[in-house]
Structures are given as structure tokens and as C-alpha cells.
A and B are shown apart, each in its own frame.
Chain A
Amino acid sequence: MSSLKHKGVGPQAMTANGLRKGPVVYMREQLDWSTDYAEALITEDEEIIAHMDEAAQLASVNNLVVGAYFIDIDADSREPVRYRERFRMNGPSFDPGRPTYAEHAKTHGATRLSES
């Protein structure tokens, strides 16, 4: 398990929840946040990881996100290593009659967090 202070192994992504509405979000290359995992910045570059760490702390202080932390990413599949994180990425699995989180995001488009 990785953490805000990066201790993970291999590629890393940064995740959190949006403060105002609560959705799972991922840090993008621009060091802002998106609900779409496909837009997540995934890197092993320690310098970039340090920037991500700083940006996440700033976003927490600026009340944009809550509970930011790094997650380990599988180098081959490019998906989160931990089972729990794969669930956060995909949303609830259980009800075919109700849109899953990913489907909901697809219908409504990815959301980017803003200060307002």
C-alpha cells in the first residue's frame, strides 16, 4: 500500500475524494483532478511524484480534495494493484438495472474539480 508520502513500489497514481461532493478523483498530468481514471497521471519518476505529493497537499489545504494518497499501479495492466482501489475506480458492481459509477461518469462525462 502506498500513501501520501510515497512509499509504494512501481508506477504510482494519486487519488483522493472531492471535498464538496465526495467523488473518487485522480490527479491528472496537469496536477489537477478528474473523476475519470483514464486521465490519471501514472508515473515512476521520483521528481514528478514529488510534484504530485506537493500538489495533493496543496489541494487538501485549499479544500479541494480530502484524504489524498498514492496508489500502486500494475505496470502491465495500468490498473490499480490493490483490489480495493480497483473497486474505487470502477464503482459498485452489483446492479445491472442501475448505472454503475463508471457508466454514470460515461453518461455525464468526467468531472474535473474546481475551487468553487
Chain B
Amino acid sequence: MYRYDEFDHQFVQSRTTQFRDQVMRRLDGRLTEEQFRPLRLMNGLYLQLHAYMLRVAVPYGTLRSDQLRRLADIGEKYDRGYGHVTTRQNMQFNWPELVNVPSILDDLAEVEMHAIQTSGNCIRNVTSDPWAGAAQDEVEDPRPTCELLRQWSSLHPEFTFLPRKFKIAVTASENDRAAIRAHDIGIKIVRNAAGEVGYHIYVGGGLGRTPIIAKSLNDFVPRDELLNYLEAVMRVYNRYGRRDNKYKARIKILVQETGIEQFRCNVEAEYAAMIPADITVDAEELERIAEYFSPPKFEAVSQNSGEIEAQRKADPEFARWCNANLGEHRMAGYAIVNVSLKPIKGAPGDITSEQMRVVADLADDYSFGEIRFTHEQNVVLPHVKRSEALAVYDGLKAAGLAAANINKITDIICCPGMDYCALATARSIPVSQAIAQRFADPERQTVIGEMKIKISGCINACGHHHVGHIGILGLEKSGVEFYQVTLGGDATETATVGDKTGKGFSQDELIDGIERMVDFYIEAREGQERFLDTYRRMGIAPFKEVLYADH
């Protein structure tokens, strides 16, 4: 994993000191709220519905056990004993006090963390595949590329005041676990016919009030040209992106209005006019960064240990957890452990300080001290020996973290909604809980199979509802919450924006309608079809009919 060098330490420490001074000046009135607001936002501090909220950056979702323990300590010392994993693989604290935030930032800096660029119209935390470095299907570990982008984009003087916020995601696998085509720039690490590694660049994706799937901009950018090429894209956006209308300021609108062909011409013209030597990163530096992500010292162990099979037979619950929560690792005898933060009665993505410590201890004991946060608001222990899966399961179970529901109907992405968010129009957490309770039976979840439900509490779509197999959007009219449904959305390599079904529902009507659709799917599916496959085969009409059957 990346470790700070002397410059990084100095930089983060100086920002913390600077923010402490800014907070002091705000408290004693030397700064007005109007002056202070952009300064606090640059440090990830929002004023939400009930309190301040601090968003801590977790670069590409990767963190060490000591960092997770520090987050646990912060949750306990300065918040209400828990944190919330976000869809940008960050962690939010919902109840910090302004007077304590400089101390929180000091505590974070001690473990090489900060909250810089988790807000504002800048390049936000670069996200990636939570299975990076462990996945069987990756061309290479995408994290060195993410780290390169992090270093390039941190306080980049040209891109600190973009027309709007800017989100980049990187994957190196055919199976897109990072939702790259829902991003302003999506990067897929690929190999060309000559076997060289480079980058397929997608541009202009995004959710929010105008959901658009990113378009292919360049199917092969050589490795040493990445930063120059991205800089050209950013310059085109910075120059032509609309600053007159907040709702039309994202790059997706620029690409849509310009057309991808013309946009590509603009990028190429900009690229041709650049002096490549300006920011080209030499191979030695790339290698230096990559070394931080060298694989851990895996042991040579057999893939098919009879032990785990016997354990699975002896404990059906453990077997179910293995089936749902273990991913295939690139090393024989190892597994990727996906830890669900979606217990039936919980709030999706919430994890208590106590649970964070349990995960950190398990990471130390069984996963080389490495942890990942996922954009689906779960946690990953990336490198666990299959023979030690039961020990990890037992540890998780004792901490209430053994929900066997990864990719199941109760593994729901859900924004904080009206329960916390100042922008929300309706609650989303109680809806996710009601769905989870309706489908709590683990056998039923297994029968249903892969299902991605995503819930947003307003049209800003932080809960990614546009790309849910079933997407739910919470709205409010005259003091009454209601929920609109989209169907057939997909955040993966076959990315699709879901189809709107029509008029909204009350929460109770919604849950009944979802159940009818699920029952219909089970009746109608052919072979191994997922809900999404059946929907694609049959179209919206029959699903809409059962959804609105009682309406």
C-alpha cells in the first residue's frame, strides 16, 4: 500500500494546521460563514440537516488496519460511535462538532489520512475495484494508476475550481466492479493486440438528475500518455463546461451537447498543443508507485482444501455465507472475503467503532492488514486463506457482521436520505430496511439470486438508483413521501440507465409492488437468468403490470 513520503506528511500537516486556524478565525468572527464555507468544504466538512458531517477520504477504497482503527477511535471520541461507508468508498461521520474537526484532522494525519477534495468542484476521491490486487480477472492491479491520478489531481492548480465536481473511477477487469461508466471519466486498464498495457478512456457518465452512461473516448491511451491525455480532457471541460447553470455544469452535459465526435476532436487538438514533457511520468516513477502495491507474501497453499468443504457441510449458515460472500482470488488457496454492512435491520453502510476494530483485527490476523471499502457500501478483506475463512466468519459473526447477502436483494445501496441529508426530499434508509425485512429469509434470497436494489432520497441520485436493477427514488409532496421506481438499470460493464415505470408509491405500496415483481420474475425466468436478464428479455410491460397491480 502507498505510504506517505516526507512531502505528503508535510503537506497534510500544513493543511491541518491551516484549517485549525481557519476554524479559530470562524469561531471568533474574523471569518464570516460566507467566507468560511468554501474553506470547510475543501476539507470535507458539510453542515447537514441535523449537524456537521465530515467526509474522510479513503483513496480508491484501500486502507490499512491501523487506519481503520483510527476511524474507529474518531467515531468513538468525536462522533456517536459509528461511521458510514459511502458510494465513493469514503467514510462519513454524521455528528462531529466544528470545534473538534481540527483535532480529528490531526488524528487522521497521524495515520496518513485526510478529508481533502471530498467536496467542492474539484477532482474527488478516485474510486476503483474493491477487489484490486486480488481479482482473478484483472489485467493488473489498478491501484498504482489510481495513486498516480491521486497525486496528479491533488490540489492541481488548474482543476481546483472546475465548473462542477469531477469523479474518476478505474478498473482493470472485464467485470466492472467500480461502475466506471457512471463516472465523469471512467478508465479501464486494457491490453492491446501487441500485449502492451494502456487505458480505455470513457467520458461523460454520471447519475444525478440527468443520468448518462459514459461514452468511449479513446480505446487505447498508452501508459506514459495517461496524465497528458487526461489533462487535455480536463482542459476542454474547464474551458467549455457550463458555469452558468449548476444543473448543466457536469462534463456529461458538455459531451452530450458537443457530441462525442466533436468532443474527441477538441481533446485531440488540446492534446496536440500540449508539451508532453510537462507532466509525462517516467517509467522509474511509475515503478516506484507500483512497488507500494506489491503483492503480499502469499503462501503456496492448495485451492481445494477438504477442510473448508467439511466445515461448510457441518454448518449450513457458514456454507451460505461462503456462497454469497467469498470471491475468487487470483492465488490458489485464497479467497476475497466480502463483509456485508447490510444487516437486515441496519442502515446500509453503517459500521460501529467496535465493528471497525473487529475488522481491523481480522485483517491483521488473516488478510495482511489490508481492508477495502466498496462503492456498494460494504467492506472487503482481500487476501484470506480459504482454510481460514471459518475463523474470519466466526469473528465477523460475533460482531454482527456475517450477513450472507452480497449481491442479494437485501444488499442495497442506499443514500442517507432525509434522515441525515440536507438535500434529501424523502427518507431512504427505512425503505431499504423494509425491503430487507420483507426478504429477510436467506433461502428466499438465494432463490432470487443476484439483485441490485439502489435507493436515493432525492434526484441527486447518491444512492445510484438509475443503475439499479430496481431503482427507487424518494420524493415528497405536501408532506407525504412517495417513491418512484426505475427498472433494468445496470452499473457494470453492460451499463444501462433504468426505465422509469411511472407514478410513485407510498412505502407500503412500494414494498408490495417489489414483492410482486420478484415473484413474477421467479415464475418467468429461464435457466440461470438474473432478474436483470429476465427484464431485458421481456421488457418493461409485464413488470410494470405487476408493479401497479394494486395501484
Residues of A at the B interface (CB closer than 8 Å) are 17, 19-24, 60-63, 66-67, 81-84, 86-88, 91-98, 101
B-side residues, CB < 8 A to A, are 26-29, 33, 47, 49-52, 80, 95-99, 345-347, 418-420, 427, 429-430, 433, 476, 479-481
Closest to A74 in B: B479
B29 A63 Cβ-Cβ under 8 A: yes
Q: Nearest CB to that of B418 among chain A residues?
A: A87
Q: Name the B residues within 8 Å of A66 (CB-CB).
A: 33, 47
Residue from A20, A63, A88, A94 in contact with B433 in the complex, judged by beta carbons closer than 8 Å: A94
Is A22 within 8 A of B47, CB to CB?
yes
In the bound complex, CA of A22 to CA of B48 (Å): 9
Contacts of B50 in A (CB 8 A): 22-24, 88, 91-92, 101
**Most chain-A Cβ atoms within 10 A of its Cβ — which of B27, B33, B96?**
B33
A77 to B51, CA, bound (A): 26
Given the complex of chains A and B, what is the CA–CA distance between A83 and B480 in angstroms?
Answer: 8
Q: Who on chain B is nearest to A65 by CB?
A: B33
For residue B27, which residues in chain A have a CB less than 8 angstroms away from its CB?
A: 19-20, 63
User: A3 to B481, alpha carbons, bound, how many Å?
Assistant: 23
Give the residues in chain A near B479, CB-CB below 8 Å: 81-83, 86
Q: Which residue of A lies closest to B100 (CB)?
A: A21
Question: Could you say which of B28, B51, B80, B420 has the most chain A C-beta atoms within 10 Å of its C-beta?
Answer: B51
Instruction: Please indicate the chain B residues that have their CB under 8 angstroms from the CB of A96 in the complex.
Output: 345
Q: List 13 A-B contacts (CB under 8 A).
A: A20-B97, A22-B50, A23-B50, A23-B51, A62-B29, A63-B27, A83-B480, A83-B481, A86-B479, A87-B419, A92-B50, A94-B419, A101-B50
Chain B residues with CB under 8 A of A61: 29
Scoring B28, B98, B429, B476 by chain A CB atoms within 10 A of each residue's CB, the highest score goes to: B98
What is the bound-complex CA distance between A94 and B343, given in angstroms?
14
Closest chain A residue to B53, Cβ basis:
A22
Chain A, residue nearest B33 (CB)? A66
The closest CB in chain B to the CB of A92 belongs to B419
Q: Contacts A94-B419, A94-B430: A67 and B33 contacting too (C-beta < 8 A)?
A: yes
State the CA gap A83–B474 with chains docked (Å).
Answer: 13
Pairwise interchain contact B29-A98, C-beta atoms closer than 8 A = no
| Bound CA span A98–B96, Å | 17
Which residue of the partner chain B has the closest CB to A61?
Answer: B29
CA separation between A82 and B80, bound complex, in Å? 27
Expressed in whole angstroms, the minimum distance between the Cβ of B421 and any Cβ of chain A is 10
Are A22 and B49 closer than 8 Å at their CB atoms?
no
Distance of A62 Cα from B28 Cα, bound (Å): 8
> Is B420 touching A63 in the complex (CB atoms < 8 A)?
no
B52 CB to nearest A CB, Å: 4
